[in-house]
Protein backbone atom coordinates (compact mmCIF):
# COMPACT_ATOMS: atom_id res chain seq x y z
CA UNK A 1 0.00 0.00 0.00
CA UNK A 2 1.29 3.45 -0.99
CA UNK A 3 -0.21 6.93 -0.78
CA UNK A 4 -0.03 7.09 -4.58
CA UNK A 5 -2.79 4.48 -4.55
CA UNK A 6 -5.10 7.24 -3.24
CA UNK A 7 -3.57 10.66 -3.92
CA UNK A 8 -4.60 12.45 -7.10
CA UNK A 9 -2.86 15.82 -6.61
CA UNK A 10 -3.33 19.05 -4.72
CA UNK A 11 -6.98 19.80 -3.97
CA UNK A 12 -6.41 23.33 -2.65
CA UNK A 13 -4.35 25.60 -0.42
CA UNK A 14 -6.21 27.09 2.55
CA UNK A 15 -5.82 30.77 3.44
CA UNK A 16 -7.71 32.31 6.37
CA UNK A 17 -8.86 35.91 5.96
CA UNK A 18 -10.40 38.54 8.20
CA UNK A 19 -11.69 40.48 5.16
CA UNK A 20 -13.21 38.29 2.45
CA UNK A 21 -13.94 41.17 0.08
CA UNK A 22 -10.36 42.44 0.25
CA UNK A 23 -9.07 38.93 -0.44
CA UNK A 24 -11.48 38.35 -3.32
CA UNK A 25 -10.62 41.68 -4.93
CA UNK A 26 -6.90 40.94 -4.65
CA UNK A 27 -7.10 37.44 -6.11
CA UNK A 28 -9.61 38.28 -8.85
CA UNK A 29 -7.27 41.09 -9.93
CA UNK A 30 -4.64 38.36 -10.33
CA UNK A 31 -7.05 36.43 -12.57
CA UNK A 32 -8.64 33.95 -10.15
CA UNK A 33 -12.32 33.05 -10.64
CA UNK A 34 -14.71 32.11 -7.85
CA UNK A 35 -15.72 28.49 -8.46
CA UNK A 36 -17.64 27.71 -5.25
CA UNK A 37 -19.03 29.73 -2.35
CA UNK A 38 -20.40 28.21 0.83
CA UNK A 39 -20.67 28.79 4.57
CA UNK A 40 -18.53 27.18 7.25
CA UNK A 41 -21.03 25.42 9.53
CA UNK A 42 -18.66 25.73 12.51
CA UNK A 43 -18.69 29.53 12.60
CA UNK A 44 -21.03 30.83 9.87
CA UNK A 45 -18.11 32.38 7.98
CA UNK A 46 -18.04 32.62 4.21
CA UNK A 47 -15.79 30.18 2.32
CA UNK A 48 -14.76 30.82 -1.30
CA UNK A 49 -12.87 28.41 -3.51
CA UNK A 50 -11.13 30.30 -6.28
CA UNK A 51 -9.16 29.00 -9.26
CA UNK A 52 -6.43 30.19 -11.59
CA UNK A 53 -5.62 27.44 -14.07
CA UNK A 54 -5.10 24.30 -11.98
CA UNK A 55 -4.36 26.21 -8.74
CA UNK A 56 -7.27 26.28 -6.28
CA UNK A 57 -7.25 28.40 -3.12
CA UNK A 58 -9.73 28.10 -0.27
CA UNK A 59 -10.32 31.53 1.29
CA UNK A 60 -12.20 31.29 4.55
CA UNK A 61 -13.26 33.89 7.10
CA UNK A 62 -11.72 33.86 10.55
CA UNK A 63 -11.99 36.57 13.19
CA UNK A 64 -8.26 36.35 13.75
CA UNK A 65 -6.00 35.44 10.82
CA UNK A 66 -2.25 35.18 11.50
CA UNK A 67 -1.29 37.83 8.91
CA UNK A 68 2.40 36.93 9.09
CA UNK A 69 4.86 35.36 6.69
CA UNK A 70 4.15 31.64 6.58
CA UNK A 71 0.48 32.11 7.46
CA UNK A 72 -0.94 29.77 4.84
CA UNK A 73 -2.98 27.46 7.04
CA UNK A 74 -2.95 24.17 5.13
CA UNK A 75 -2.67 22.39 1.84
CA UNK A 76 -5.10 19.67 0.87
CA UNK A 77 -4.41 16.50 -1.07
CA UNK A 78 -7.24 15.28 -3.29
CA UNK A 79 -7.78 11.56 -2.67
CA UNK A 80 -9.96 8.97 -4.41
CA UNK A 81 -10.62 6.93 -1.25
CA UNK A 82 -10.62 8.81 2.06
CA UNK A 83 -10.96 5.62 4.11
CA UNK A 84 -7.96 4.04 2.37
CA UNK A 85 -5.89 7.21 2.79
CA UNK A 86 -6.85 7.38 6.47
CA UNK A 87 -5.89 3.74 7.03
CA UNK A 88 -2.59 4.35 5.24
CA UNK A 89 -1.71 7.37 7.40
CA UNK A 90 -2.71 5.59 10.61
CA UNK A 91 -0.78 2.45 9.67
CA UNK A 92 2.37 4.57 9.34
CA UNK A 93 1.86 6.18 12.76
CA UNK A 94 1.69 9.68 11.28
CA UNK A 95 -1.85 10.68 12.29
CA UNK A 96 -0.12 13.31 14.40
CA UNK A 97 -3.34 15.07 15.42
CA UNK A 98 -5.21 11.82 16.13
CA UNK A 99 -7.85 13.20 13.80
CA UNK A 100 -10.85 11.29 12.54
CA UNK A 101 -12.67 11.53 9.21
CA UNK A 102 -15.09 14.48 9.13
CA UNK A 103 -17.82 15.53 6.69
CA UNK A 104 -18.82 18.98 5.41
CA UNK A 105 -21.63 20.00 3.05
CA UNK A 106 -19.22 21.62 0.55
CA UNK A 107 -19.58 21.30 -3.21
CA UNK A 108 -22.54 19.47 -4.72
CA UNK A 109 -22.45 16.27 -2.67
CA UNK A 110 -20.25 17.18 0.29
CA UNK A 111 -16.71 16.20 1.24
CA UNK A 112 -14.98 13.89 3.72
CA UNK A 113 -11.59 14.87 5.12
CA UNK A 114 -9.04 14.51 7.90
CA UNK A 115 -5.94 16.49 8.84
CA UNK A 116 -2.46 15.68 10.09
CA UNK A 117 0.38 17.98 11.12
CA UNK A 118 3.79 17.95 9.48
CA UNK A 119 7.14 18.36 11.23
CA UNK A 120 7.08 22.14 10.72
CA UNK A 121 3.55 22.54 12.16
CA UNK A 122 2.07 22.69 8.65
CA UNK A 123 -1.36 21.12 8.32
CA UNK A 124 -1.87 18.49 5.62
CA UNK A 125 -5.50 17.80 4.79
CA UNK A 126 -6.69 14.77 2.88
CA UNK A 127 -10.02 15.39 1.14
CA UNK A 128 -12.44 13.41 -0.99
CA UNK A 129 -15.30 15.07 -2.84
CA UNK A 130 -18.39 12.87 -2.74
Q: What is the pLDDT of residues 1-37, one digit of tens each?
A: 889 999 999 999 999 999 999 999 999 998 999 999 9
Domain holding 80, by residue range, is 3-129
How many domains, in total, are found in the chain?
1
**Residue 31: C-alpha distances to residues 15, 51, 82 (Å):** 17, 8, 31
Q: What is the pLDDT of residues 49-100, one digit of tens each?
A: 999 999 999 999 988 877 777 778 899 999 999 999 999 999 999 999 999 9
Which pLDDT band, with edges at 50, 70 and 90, does 45 fall under? very high
CATH code, domain carrying 104: 3.10.180.10
**Residue 120: C-alpha distances to residues 32, 53, 74, 92 (Å):** 29, 28, 12, 18
CB 125 within 8 A of CB 102: no
Coil/strand/helix, residue 19 = coil
Amino acid sequence: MRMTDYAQGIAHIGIPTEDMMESLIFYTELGFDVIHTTTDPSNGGIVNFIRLGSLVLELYERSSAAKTAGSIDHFAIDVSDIDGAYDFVCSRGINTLNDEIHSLPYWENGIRYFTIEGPNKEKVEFVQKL
